[in-house]
Structure 1
Amino acid sequence: MYGVIAQAGALIAIGVAWRRLRPMGLEADALRPALTSLVYIVLLPALVLSVLWGSDLGLDTLRLAVVAAACVLTGLALGWAACRLLRIPPAAAGALILAAGFGNFTYLGLPLLEASFGAWGREVAIQFDLFAATPLLLTLGVAIAAAHGDGQRREGALAAVARVPALWAAAAGVALNLGGVPTFAWLIGLLETLAAGVVPLMLISTGLALQGVAGWQQRLGQVTPVLAIRLALIPLGVAWFAAVVGLEGELWRATVIESAMPSMVIGLVIAERYGLDTRLYAEAVTLSTAVAAVVLPLWFTALGGWL
C-alpha cells in the first residue's frame, strides 16, 4: 500500500508543482478544467462502460450500493452535527458538511483500489460512486449546498443527474451486462485504451486543485472535525456495517478503504456554484488529502489483520 500511495503521491505532486511553476505560462486553474472535462466527458464514461459491461453484477452489487449510501449519509449527518455544535456560519457549514459526506471516491479511490487489489478494484470504486455517492451528491448534496448558500435558484437535481456522462455509461453498461450482450474485442480494446488515461489524469488534476490558503491555521479547528469524520469515523462505521450486510473478504476490505477517501475535489465546483465558503472547502480537501497519505496505509494494514 505504501508503494501505491507513493505512486499516487508522485502524480499528485506533478499537479501541485504545475500550480507553483506554471510551465509554458499555463495556469493550473486554466489547465485543470480542460483535463477534468476530458476525463469527465470521454475517458471516465469509457472506463465505466468497459468495467460494468463485463462485471459480475449480483447481490454484492446491491450490498455495496447500500453501504456506499450509508457512508455518505452518515458523513453528512456527522458533518451537520459538528457544525451545529461549533456554531459555524451557514456558508462555511455547507462547505464542511459536503466535505465530510463526500469522499474522493473516483478521482483517488479508483486508482488506489486498482493498484492495491487489481482490476476488480475498479468495479468497487465505480459501483460505490455511481450507484450511490454521485446520485446523492447531485440530489441531497445540491439541496444542502442550496440551503446554506446564497439562495439563488440553480439547475434542478434531476437535470443535474441527467447531465452526468458516466451515469449514462453506467446505465448502458448495466443494461448490456444484464441483457447478456456479448462484448466485442475491438470495442473493449478501444474503451480500455481510453480508460488508461483516467488514473494519471485524475491524480494530476487532484494535484492541480490542491492549493495553500493563507491563514489556514486559524481555521484548523473548523476543518479538524471533517478530517476525523472522513478518515476515521466513517471507515470505522463502514467496517462494521459492511460486515453486517454481508460483504466479506477482500471485497469488504476494499469497500472500507474506499469509504476512507479524503474529501471530494469536485465539490469545489458545487461550493463555488452555490456561494459556499470555497476557501474553507479547499482547505478541507488539501488537509484531508495530506493526512490520508498517512492514514490510508494504516487502514490497509489494520484491515489486513482483521481478515
Structure 2
Amino acid sequence: MDSLILIVVCMLAGVMLRRQNVVPPNAHVALNQFAIYLLLPALSLYYIPKIHVTEKLLYPVGAGWFSFLFSWAFFATLGNLLKWSRKLQGCLIITGGFLNSSFIGFPVIEALYGKQGLKTAIMVDQPGTFVMLSTLGVLVAVLYSRGTPSAAVIAKRVFSFPPFIGFAIGAAMNLLHYDFIDIVQTVLQKLGSCVTPVALVAVGLQLKIDRQSKHWGFLAWGLAMKLLFIPAFFFVVYKLILGAHGELIDISIMEAATPPMISAAILASAHGLKPKLSGMMVGIGIPLSALTMAFWYAVLHYL
C-alpha cells in the first residue's frame, strides 16, 4: 500500500509543480539526467555484486530478457510496416518491453506470494530486467535516437553510458565475489531508493492528458504489448509449450504482467524518444495495471 501511495503522491507532485509554474518547463530533463548519471548506476553497484548465479535463474531471468526482445521484434516489424518514425519505434520498444519488476512487482508479489516470493522477483528484476536495460536497452536507445550511427559511435555511447558502467563494475565484482564495505553499500542503497520518486515526479511534470493527442493510438499499442501480449507470451511458452508449473513460474509470469518500467521511460526520454508518450506509458500504464494484473492472477490460479 505504501508503494501505491508513493506513486500517487510523486506523480501528483509533478503535475502540480508544472501547473503552478514553480519549476522551469524543462525541469524533467534535469531530473532524468540526475537519475541516469547517479541513481541508476548506484542501483547496479548495490545489487549486481549480490546476485547468485544458479540454474534456477533461467525462468525468471528469461522473463526479463525475452520480454524486451519480443517487444523489439514486434515494434520494429510493425513500425516498418506502418512507416512509423525511428523515434516512435524506439520509444515503444523500450517502454513496452521492460518490466516494472521492482517498484510495482515487489510489493505485488509479496502481497500475493509472501516474502518467499521476493526471491524469484529479485531474479526477474536484477539479472533479468536491469541487465537488459543497462545493455540492449541502451543500445536500442542509441540506435533509434539518431538515425543509424556507426558501430564505433554506438560502442562509445553504450560503454560511456553511466548505468552500463555501473553494471559492468558490478558484474566484475560479482565474478570476483567482492562487495563494497557496509557504509558504501548503505549509501548506494539510499541513492538507488531515490530512483522511483525522482522518476515519478519527472513523469508528472511531463504528463498531460490531452484527448486530442496524436499519441493515444500509439499508447494503446504500447500498453497492449506490456500488459497483455508479453504476459500472454510467457503464459503460452512456460505453461503450455514447456509444461513448467509451480510458484516460480507463476511469479515470473506475474512479473511479466507488471506495467512499464519507470527507468525505461527515463532512458527513452533522455534520448529524445517521444518523451510525452514515454510519460504517458508510465502515468497511465501503472494505474491500468491494477486491473490487468488481477486478470492474469485469475488466469494463473483459476484456469
Return the letter of the residue paired with 1:126: Q
Structure 1 104/210 Cα, relative in aligned 2: closer, same or farther at 3 Å? farther
What is the deviation of 1:135? 2.0
Return the letter of the residue paired with 1:249: E
What is the deviation of 1:246? 6.6
Alignment length (residue pairs): 290
The aligned residue for residue 71 of structure 1 is 67
Partner Cα separation in structure 2 for residue 48 and residue 182 of structure 1: 12
Structure 1 185/134 Cα, relative in aligned 2: closer, same or farther at 3 Å? closer
- For the 8 Å contact 1:210–1:285, the answer to whether it is kept is no
The aligned residue for residue 261 of structure 1 is 259
Seq. identity, %: 18
- Asked if 1:115 corresponds to 2:116, the answer is no
When normalised by structure 2's length, the TM-score is: 0.75
- Deviation per residue, 1:189-234 (Å, 9 max, x gap): 2222323323322322232232234622x65344422222221011
Partner Cα separation in structure 2 for residue 291 and residue 192 of structure 1: 29
The aligned residue for residue 129 of structure 2 is 129
Partner Cα separation in structure 1 for residue 79 and residue 165 of structure 2: 35
What is the deviation of 1:237? 0.6
RMSD over aligned CA atoms reads 3.7
- Deviation per residue, 1:67-97 (Å, 9 max, x gap): 4332122223322444456x3x432x64146
- For the 8 Å contact 1:105–1:128, the answer to whether it is kept is no
Paired residues for 1:74-223 under 5 Å? 74-83=70-79, 87=82, 89-91=83-85, 94-96=87-89, 98-103=91-96, 105=98, 108-116=100-108, 117=110, 120=119, 121-122=121-122, 124-147=124-147, 156-181=153-178, 183-213=180-210, 215-216=212-213, 220-223=216-219
Structure 1 44/269 Cα, relative in aligned 2: closer, same or farther at 3 Å? closer
What is the deviation of 1:157? 1.9
- For the 8 Å contact 1:45–1:169, the answer to whether it is kept is yes
Equivalent of residue 33 in structure 1, options 26, 29, 35: 29
Partner Cα separation in structure 2 for residue 144 and residue 198 of structure 1: 24
Structure 1 196/220 Cα, relative in aligned 2: closer, same or farther at 3 Å? closer
For structure 1, the 5+ residue unaligned runs are none
Return the letter of the residue paired with 1:38: F
- Asked if 1:227 corresponds to 2:228, the answer is no
Equivalent of residue 44 in structure 2, options 41, 48, 56: 48
Structure 1 155/27 Cα, relative in aligned 2: closer, same or farther at 3 Å? farther
- For the 8 Å contact 1:125–1:258, the answer to whether it is kept is no
What is the deviation of 1:11? 2.4
Q: Secondary structure of the equivalent of 1:115? A: helix
- For the 8 Å contact 2:41–2:163, the answer to whether it is kept is yes
